[in-house]
Amino acid sequence: MKKISILGSTGSIGTQTLEVIENNGDIQVTALAAGSNIALLEKQIRKVRPRLACVWDEEKAAELKANVADLDVKVVSGMDGLIQAATEESAEIVVTAVVGMIGIRPTIAAMEAGKDIALANKETLVTAGHLIMPLAKEKNVRILPVDSEHSAIFQCIQGVRGSGQIHKILLTASGGPFRGLTREQMKDIRPEDALKHPNWTMGRKITIDSSTMVNKGLEIMEAHWLFDVSMDQVQVVVQPKSIIHSMVEFEDGAVMAQLGTPDMKLPIQYALYYPERRYLPGERLDFWKIGQITMEEPDFDNFPALSLACEAGTTGGSLPTVFNAANEYAVSRFLDRKISYLAITDMIEAAMRRHKVIENPSLEQILETEAETCDFLKNQYRADS
Ligand code: NDP
Ligand code: MG
């Protein structure tokens, strides 16, 4: 039986990963980690019986420990605990489905321990891709994409040897709920408006990121690292219904695409069983009903996050960390109703403009840049209000 550890098991990707595992019945879960949702985590523990469970919040971890005292499971907490979950001895694959760049240290620790990574946590690759990709080579571990677009690209390049044959990656985007609006029309958007994605049901942070197009910006950088292509080789194509999950144009002009219904269980299952394809229950595409698939150019003027992401990724060094950290901070403030919707991208830009780029930052420098970016925005926000 394949053994896996799931970081972020109570979230959107985490719970769907557990569904895939339940449907297949031949994977053993050896570790689970969550932030604070101990009610759901306890249910998961009782069902899959991992050896180890981690809760970020120390008090909640103590509570969970008392609640599962009848079971043979070790309960740990904090970053040390998250790293223990990422490196649980018997796990072969670690599903990184925590949200945000908090995933960097556990991902690196898992790779150092020789585990393959089923990567959902794109923030890790965006901020530390220059550390992660060489480490994967050195440790001979695989990074299997879970993000639907990157899984699509990965599926399209099966059988292709070397990135030299990829001419261009065509990264599809739904355009989010505010496609077609001007910035002026986006002024009064509230969290409840932005939390309605037209095609996908996802965690809160990524849903906001999809609406601002920050998510697509992060995904351009993610594709750059995963597939060893330059930022310029990634072109965003808006395809509002999310039927085409992404495409690859090869050197000879041939374009391969992966299509399907919007269901994250497909990329999750593909990553867990790669290179095997298994039956997956669920809706199938009916092309007679679909009729048309439309495509558009992205709106760079009204969604400045895209150009900011391209600038961050092309400059590289510590700038992608600033882009990402500023966004994580701004999105949490927006969800707490402390800043306006348009302030999210304004804050990203302000943080990027004042930053002095560090080339090839170490893990410590990445984490320092994150802290500095948040401090700057906290002060700036105080000064503005
Ligand atoms: P959710 O918000 O739904 O879930 C996040 C998970 O991380 C929860 O289990 C949460 O625990 C846990 N978590 C949060 N903070 C910590 C912490 N400090 N320590 C341990 N666990 C923590 O997010 P999603 O599942 O939507 O997204 C997860 C990642 O996958 C993100 O990086 C996202 O960009 C990426 N992704 C998601 C897609 C989707 O369809 N949802 C698609 C493509 C990529 P708790 O519940 O206790 O708070
Ligand atoms: Mg995606």
- As for ligand 1, residues whose beta carbon falls within 6 Å of it are 8-14, 33-37, 56, 82, 97-99, 102, 120-123, 147, 200, 202-206, 264
Report whether 348 contacts 327 (CB < 8 A).
yes
The strand order across the sheet containing 93-96 reads 74-77, 52-55, 27-34, 2-7, 93-96, 116-119, 143-145
Least confident of 107-111, 161-165, 244-248: 161-165
pLDDT at 281 over 70: yes
pLDDT at 383 over 70: no
Residue with tokens 């830009």: 349
Hey, is 368 helix, strand or coil?
helix
For atom 15 of ligand 1, which residue has the closest CA? 35
For the CA of 174, the nearest ligand: 2
Percent of the chain topping pLDDT 70: 99
Spacing of C-alpha 236 from chain mean position? 17
Spacing of C-alpha 291 from chain mean position? 31
Report whether 369 contacts 319 (CB < 8 A).
no
CA distance 142 to 217: 24
pLDDT for 300-358, tens place per residue? 999 999 999 999 999 999 999 999 999 999 999 999 999 999 999 999 999 999 999 99
CA-nearest of 311, 126, 134 to 223 is 126
Report whether 198 contacts 192 (CB < 8 A).
no
For the CA of 246, the nearest ligand: 2
Tokens found for residue 51:
């050896």
Give distance in angstroms: CA of 222 to centre of ligand 2: 10
pLDDT for 142-182, tens place per residue? 999 999 999 999 999 999 987 789 999 999 999 999 999 99
Residue 377 CB partners (closer than 8 Å, separation 6+): 326, 329, 330, 347, 350, 351
For the CA of 242, the nearest ligand: 2
pTM metric for this prediction: 0.98
- Measured in residues, the chain has a length of 385
Which residues lie near ion ligand 2 (Cβ < 5 Å)?
147-149
Model confidence at 384, pLDDT cuts 50, 70, 90, reads low
Tokens found for residue 292:
């048309």
Give distance in angstroms: CA of 15 to centre of ligand 1: 10
pLDDT at 23 over 60: yes
pLDDT of residue 381: 75
Report whether 18 contacts 50 (CB < 8 A).
no
pLDDT of residue 161: 82
pLDDT for 247-271, tens place per residue? 999 999 999 999 999 999 999 999 9
205 CA: nearest ligand 1 atom: 2
Tokens found for residue 313:
């990724």
DSSP per-residue string spanning 352-363: HHH--PPSS--H
CA-nearest of 144, 155, 198 to 173 is 198
pLDDT of residue 272: 98
CA distance 371 to 349: 17
Give distance in angstroms: CA of 141 to centre of ligand 1: 23
For atom 40 of ligand 1, which residue has the closest CA? 202
E-assigned strand segments in the chain: 2-7, 27-34, 52-55, 74-77, 93-96, 116-119, 143-145, 166-173, 234-238, 244-250, 255-259
To test ligand 1's pocket by mutation, which of 6, 7, 9, 12 has the most ligand atoms within 8 angstroms of CB?
A: 12
pLDDT at 118 over 70: yes
For the CA of 324, the nearest ligand: 1
DSSP state of 275: T
Say if residue 177 is preceded by a cis peptide, omega within 30 of 0: no
CA distance 366 to 378: 18
| Other Cβ atoms closer than 10 A to 113 | 16
Give distance in angstroms: CA of 174 to centre of ligand 2: 10
CA distance 37 to 44: 11
Given phi > 0 = left and psi -120 to 50 = alpha, else beta, which region is 79?
alpha
Q: What is the mean pLDDT of the chain?
A: 97
Percent of the chain topping pLDDT 90: 96
Hey, is 237 helix, strand or coil?
strand
CA-nearest of 119, 116, 173, 126 to 147 is 119
